[in-house]
A and B are shown apart, each in its own frame.
Chain A
C-alpha cells in the first residue's frame, strides 16, 4: 500500500500534468525526457538499433523526439480516462456493466503502458451522512481497484482515496446531480511524477 505523501504527490502531479498539457506549455519537457526512459526503453532501443554510430547526436535527437511523441500520446490517452469516471447506484459499490466495460478498457491500456499508475478517487452523493459516505466512497474506490487487479494490473500501481460526499461535481440536490456525484474517478498519470 502506498502512503499519504505519495497520494498527495499524485494529486499535485495530476493537476500539474493537466495544466501543462492543456496549456500546451512545454515547461515540463526536460523532466519528462529524463524520467521516461525506463518504461520507454524497449522502443527507444528499437529506434536506436538499426542506425548505429555515425551521426550519434542526430540519433539521440530522433530518439528523444520519438520518446516525447509517445509520452505525449500516453498523457493524452490517460486524460481521456480521467474524463470518464465510472458511476454507481445509490448506497451501492458494486460495478455496473458499463463500469466494467470502461475498466476493461483502462486495464488493457495499463497493461500496455506500464509507466502509468492510477489513483482511484471514490465519491458519493450528498444523501446519508458524511461518515457512512466516506466509507462508501472507499468501497467504491476499492471495488474499482480490485477489478483492475483481477485484470492483471499490478496492485502497486493502483491506489485509492475516498472523499465521501465532500467533492461533488454537481452541487445541486436532484437525481441528475446525485447520479453524477456517485462515482469513482480514474486519475491516470505517469509513475515518474510521484516517484
Chain B
C-alpha cells in the first residue's frame, strides 16, 4: 500500500507520481481545515452514548474493473470495525435517504440534510478504482452537523491489502473523534482447553485471525504478553511440574523461565519488561517474588503463611496489587514494590480476586462473588469508588485490560464452557468471541500491547 497527502486532484496526481517511485504502500490525506485537532467525543464520560454514524456503500469512481461488490464490502467492513469499538452506533443502510448513485463523496456533493434527518452525526463515504493496476481507495469522514470534512485518506495497494486500508482509516476516525487510535493493532492470547490438555491461541481485536501458538499436548495456563509484544510468559505441565516458560514469538522458541519444585506461576511483567512478578511455592508456601527477566535474579516480596497470589504491577511500577486470604477470605491488597506498606483495599464480599491494574493507573478491575456468581468490578487504588461492570448469568473470570485502558477482555463461564468476551471499561458494549476453535473452553485472556498487524 502507498501513503501520501493531497489537497485536490492536480496535486494528488503530482504527489502520487513522486510516491510511486519510492514506496510500495501509499496514502493521501486531504482535509478542509488545515489544523483539525478537535476531539469530538469524550468516550470516558460516565454517561457516554454511542455516536450515530453512517457508512455508505463506497462508490466506484471510474468503471474500469468489477468493483461494485467491493464497494459494499468496504462499507460493511468499515461499519463492523467502527461497531466493535463500542463507541459508535452504525446506522442501518436501509434507513438511508440519499441515493448513493446520485450523490458524490465530497462535501459539496452531499445532501447533509438527508443524513441529519435520520439522526446521523458522522458520515463515512468512500470511493474506489483501479489505478495503474492497483486498487485505489479513498475514505472520507464528515461532520454531518457542520456539513464539513473532518479527515480523508487515499490508499493504494493490492486487493489483499483492503482490510489494512479499512483498519487504517478506522484508526483515523478514532483519532479524529476520540483523540486516540484505538486498539485495532492488538491481539489477545488465551488458553484453549480440551480435556486435560490446553494450548495457547491468539486472536485479533476484532475476533478474526484465530491462530494456535502451541502444540505441547499438556496443561498450559496463564499466558502473559510482554510489554514489548515480543514474548508470552506462561505456565505449563509439559514436564510434569507446573513450571514457568517464555515463548519468543518471532522465533517460536521456548525457554524455561523457572522450574522450582511446586508452583511457578508467572503473573505480571513490569511495565518496562525487566521484572516478572511470579508466585512460587519453593520456600514452603506460595509467596510473591520478583524475578529479573534477563539475569533471573530473584527477590522475595511476601513472607506470609497465607495464600498470596495474582500480583500485578501498577503502571508506574511503584506498587503491587495482589490477592491474599490473610484476613480469612480472599481480598485485594496493595503493597509497595519492595513488599512494605501493605494495606487491604476490599472489605465487601467473601471472595475478591484476579486484580489487574488499568494502564491509566486510576482503576483496578477484579472479580467478586455476588450471589454465587463471579462478576467484574472496578475499584480505585485507594479502595473507593467500587463499580460493578458485569451482570452476567455466568462467571466472569480473568480480566485483562487493553493497552489503552478502554476495554477489558475476560472469560465468561456458562454450563462448563468458557468463552472470551470483551466489554468497554464502563461495562457496556459486551461482545463475545463465539469461535472456540474445537476446544471445550477458551479462557485466561491476556491483551497484547500495540503491535504492528496492519
A residues lining the B interface (CB < 8 Å):
1-11, 91, 126-132, 134-136, 138-139, 142, 160-163, 166-167, 171-173
Contacts of B323 in A (CB 8 A): 131-132
The distance in angstroms between the C-alpha atoms of A6 and B262, with both chains bound, is 13
Whether the Cβ atoms of A11 and B240 lie closer than 8 Å is yes
Q: How far is the CB of B245 from chain A (nearest CB, A)?
A: 12
Q: Which of B149-157, B279-287, B423-431 contacts A (4 or more CB under 8 A)?
A: B279-287
The distance in angstroms between the C-alpha atoms of A51 and B265, with both chains bound, is 59
Whether the Cβ atoms of B241 and A161 lie closer than 8 Å is yes
Whether the Cβ atoms of A7 and B329 lie closer than 8 Å is no
Q: How far is the CB of B363 from chain A (nearest CB, A)?
A: 19
The distance in angstroms between the C-alpha atoms of A8 and B374, with both chains bound, is 34
Known contacts A138-B263, A171-B416; A162 and B354 CB within 8 A of each other: no
B178 contacts the other chain (CB 8 A)? no
Whether the Cβ atoms of B307 and A139 lie closer than 8 Å is yes
Q: Which of B239, B307, B310, B330 contacts A5 (CB 8 A)?
A: B239
Q: List 22 A-B contacts (CB under 8 A).
A: A2-B261, A4-B241, A6-B240, A8-B239, A9-B240, A126-B395, A126-B413, A129-B354, A129-B367, A129-B374, A130-B397, A132-B310, A132-B323, A132-B354, A134-B221, A135-B286, A135-B307, A135-B308, A139-B307, A161-B241, A166-B219, A171-B416
- Minimum CB distance partner of B323 in chain A: A132
The distance in angstroms between the C-alpha atoms of A60 and B243, with both chains bound, is 46
Known contacts A130-B398, A136-B307, A138-B286; A4 and B240 CB within 8 A of each other: yes
Contacts of A1 in B (CB 8 A): 261-262
The distance in angstroms between the C-alpha atoms of A172 and B262, with both chains bound, is 28
For chain B, the count of residues having a C-beta within 8 Å of the partner chain is: 44
The distance in angstroms between the C-alpha atoms of A173 and B367, with both chains bound, is 18
Known contacts A130-B444, A132-B307; A4 and B239 CB within 8 A of each other: yes
Q: Which of B219, B325, B369, B415 contacts A163 (CB 8 A)?
A: B219
Whether the Cβ atoms of A166 and B351 lie closer than 8 Å is no
Within 8 A of A (CB), among B359-375: 367, 369, 374
Sorted nearest first, the 6 A-B pairs with minimum C-beta distance are A8-B240, A4-B241, A1-B261, A7-B240, A4-B240, A135-B286
Whether the Cβ atoms of A172 and B416 lie closer than 8 Å is yes
B85 contacts the other chain (CB 8 A)? no
Whether the Cβ atoms of A91 and B309 lie closer than 8 Å is no
- Minimum CB distance partner of A177 in chain B: B416
Contacts of A163 in B (CB 8 A): 219, 237
Contacts of B413 in A (CB 8 A): 126
B267 contacts the other chain (CB 8 A)? yes
Contacts of A135 in B (CB 8 A): 263, 265, 279, 281, 286, 307-309
Known contacts A7-B241, A161-B240; A130 and B263 CB within 8 A of each other: no
Instruction: Write the B316-344 contact mask toward A (1 if CB under 8 angstroms, else 0).
Output: 00000001010001100000000000000
Contacts of A142 in B (CB 8 A): 281, 285
B259 contacts the other chain (CB 8 A)? yes
The distance in angstroms between the C-alpha atoms of A126 and B369, with both chains bound, is 13
The distance in angstroms between the C-alpha atoms of A130 and B323, with both chains bound, is 12
Q: How far is the CB of B288 from chain A (nearest CB, A)?
A: 11
The distance in angstroms between the C-alpha atoms of A91 and B323, with both chains bound, is 14
B242 contacts the other chain (CB 8 A)? yes
Known contacts A2-B261, A166-B221; A129 and B310 CB within 8 A of each other: yes
- Minimum CB distance partner of B443 in chain A: A130
Q: How far is the CB of B117 from chain A (nearest CB, A)?
A: 51
Within 8 A of A (CB), among B222-255: 222, 237, 239-243
Within 8 A of A (CB), among B181-229: 193, 196, 198, 219, 221-222
The distance in angstroms between the C-alpha atoms of A126 and B239, with both chains bound, is 24
B402 contacts the other chain (CB 8 A)? no
Q: Which of B261, B416, B443 contacts A173 (CB 8 A)?
A: B416
Whether the Cβ atoms of B351 and A131 lie closer than 8 Å is no
Within 8 A of A (CB), among B407-430: 413, 415-416
Whether the Cβ atoms of A131 and B330 lie closer than 8 Å is no
B353 contacts the other chain (CB 8 A)? yes
The distance in angstroms between the C-alpha atoms of A61 and B185, with both chains bound, is 73
The distance in angstroms between the C-alpha atoms of A127 and B350, with both chains bound, is 12
Instruction: Write the B369-393 contact mask toward A (1 if CB under 8 angstroms, else 0).
Output: 1000010000000000000000000
Known contacts A131-B222, A131-B267, A131-B310; A173 and B415 CB within 8 A of each other: yes
Known contacts A127-B369, A139-B285; A134 and B307 CB within 8 A of each other: no
Known contacts A128-B351, A139-B285; A134 and B416 CB within 8 A of each other: no
Known contacts A132-B310, A134-B263; A166 and B239 CB within 8 A of each other: no
Knowing that A130-B222, A131-B310, A161-B241 touch, tell me 15 more A-B residue pairs with CB under 8 angstroms. Answer: A3-B259, A3-B261, A5-B240, A8-B240, A10-B240, A91-B329, A128-B330, A128-B374, A129-B367, A129-B374, A130-B443, A131-B309, A134-B263, A135-B263, A163-B219
Known contacts A91-B325, A131-B267; A162 and B353 CB within 8 A of each other: no
Whether the Cβ atoms of B353 and A129 lie closer than 8 Å is yes
Q: Which of A127, A131, A172 contacts B279 (CB 8 A)?
A: A131
Contacts of A161 in B (CB 8 A): 240-242
